[in-house]
Amino acid sequence: MPATGSTNEKAIRDLTREICEIIDNNPLALEEKMAAVMMVCFEILSAIPANGIRMNVSDGQTLYLELKQPETTTH
């Protein structure tokens, strides 16, 4: 029986591949695809005890999404 870590890693790779295939085959423009991915990331952030996601983009840049409460101003 494989170790849980390797089972989880395979499941993550499989899920990632499935998501990428769906995104690649979708007719939306690249910017709209990125917007959809960011929206999913924000949904995930709101469901788990985390406030940020850091992603490495293929061109070497890093995209960081942060979920935080809006600042309030008093008058």
Half-sphere exposure of 74 (CA within 13 A, CB side): 0
**2 pLDDT above the threshold of 90:** no
Nearest-Å Rg of the Cα atoms of the chain is 16
Query: What pTM does this model have?
Result: 0.56
- Tell me, what's the pLDDT at 3? 54
Name the residue with higher pLDDT: 5 or 31: 31
In a 3-state reduction of DSSP, which class is residue 54? strand
- Contact of 65 with 53, CB cutoff 8 Å: yes
6-50 tens-digit pLDDT: 888 899 899 989 999 999 999 999 999 988 988 887 788 778 887
- Tell me, what's the pLDDT at 75? 64
